[in-house]
Amino acid sequence: MNTTVIIDDLVRRGWSACEDLLPVHSVLALVNEATELWRDERFTPAGIGRGQEFKIRPEIRSDHVWWWNVEELSPAQKTYWDAIEDLRRKLNEELFLNLRDFETHYAVYPPGSLYKKHVDQFQTASQRVISCILYLNASWQKEDGGQLRIYDPETSESFTDVFPGAGTFTCFRSDTINHEVLPATRERFSLTGWLRRAA
Ligand code: OGA
Ligand code: MN
């Protein structure tokens, strides 16, 4: 992973994407873990809002999630955690972001599911600073859809699509970057998380 490129991208346009955050075998270990948890029906429907505002609204967001427990990271999870920790430290050193911790969940979007255009920072809490997503789908094709559409913060009309193939990593500003998940024809797996500052 080239953190210099990621940090330059974040400063210049608010988002970055790369293919080499983790070696292939580490990505596959996460693919296997997420697939098994999904098969064992351990995921729960995702919602929008937090605390008392939390609502399940499938017309806005229809994925299912399984949160990582920081106290019990599996060896597969640890490799990703360490890479994000490295990124967190460099972001703090170079941009003085004062990022304190990281929270993340696996997400599965069943065929046809989506997440309408949104920003990740809650209106009532601004701890989420940088959104980080690692995709976990072997041999994803463009025809499978499911792209993450990242909108240009300046115009909010032009956009870039990121396809969710295994190993693709993207990160973006949680406060300013509008984005959406387009429906896919296959089950779509991701690992979505947030680097956070103190409350
Ligand atoms: C989210 C989100 C994007 C993706 O969970 O907030 O925007 O590509 N996910 O999974
Ligand atoms: Mn989001």
On the question of pLDDT at 65 being above 90, the answer is: yes
Question: Ligand 1 pocket by C-beta < 6 Å: which residues?
Answer: 107, 115, 120, 133, 148, 179, 181, 190, 192
> How high is the pLDDT of residue 116?
96
Distance of alpha carbon 190 from alpha carbon 183, whole angstroms:
14
What mean pLDDT comes out for the span 93-102?
97
| Ligand 1 atom, smallest distance to 188 CA | 10
CB of 102 closer than 8 Å to CB of 82: no
Q: How far apart are CA 52 and CA 49, in angstroms?
A: 8
Nearest listed ligand to the Cα of residue 104: 1
User: Could you tell me the distance, in angstroms and rounded to a whole number, from the CA of residue 183 to the centre of ligand 2?
Assistant: 14
Q: Sorting pLDDT into bands at 50, 70 and 90, what band is 193?
A: very high
Percent of all residues in the chain with a pLDDT value above 90, rounded to a whole number: 87
Which position has the higher pLDDT, 1 or 16? 16
Q: Is the pLDDT of residue 93 over 80?
A: yes
Nearest-CA residue for atom 1 of ligand 1: 192
Spatial CB neighbours of 128, under 8 Å, sequence gap ≥ 6: 120, 121, 122, 174, 175, 194, 195, 196
Q: Is 139 helix (H, G, I), strand (E, B) or coil?
A: coil
Q: Which has the closest alpha carbon to 135: 170, 164, 106?
A: 164
d(CA 169, CA 199): 26
Closest ligand to Cα 48: 1
Burial of 140 (0-12, 13-18, 19+ CB in 10 A): buried
Q: For residue 192, how far is its CA from the centre of ligand 1 (angstroms)?
A: 6
Q: What is the dihedral sign for C-alpha 20, 26, 31, 33? A: negative
Going by alpha carbons, the residue nearest to atom 10 of ligand 1 is: 190
Distance CA 58, CA 180 (A): 14
User: For residues 137 and 187, what is the distance between their CA atoms, to the nearest angstrom?
Assistant: 9
pTM of the model: 0.96
What pLDDT is attached to residue 148? 98
Q: How far is the CA of 57 from the centre of ligand 2 (A)?
A: 15
CA gyration radius, the chain:
16
**What are the tens digits of pLDDT across the range 167-191?**
999 999 999 999 999 999 999 999 9
pLDDT given for residue 102 in this prediction: 98
Ligand 1, atom nearest to 180 Cα: 7
Query: What does DSSP assign to residue 154?
Result: T
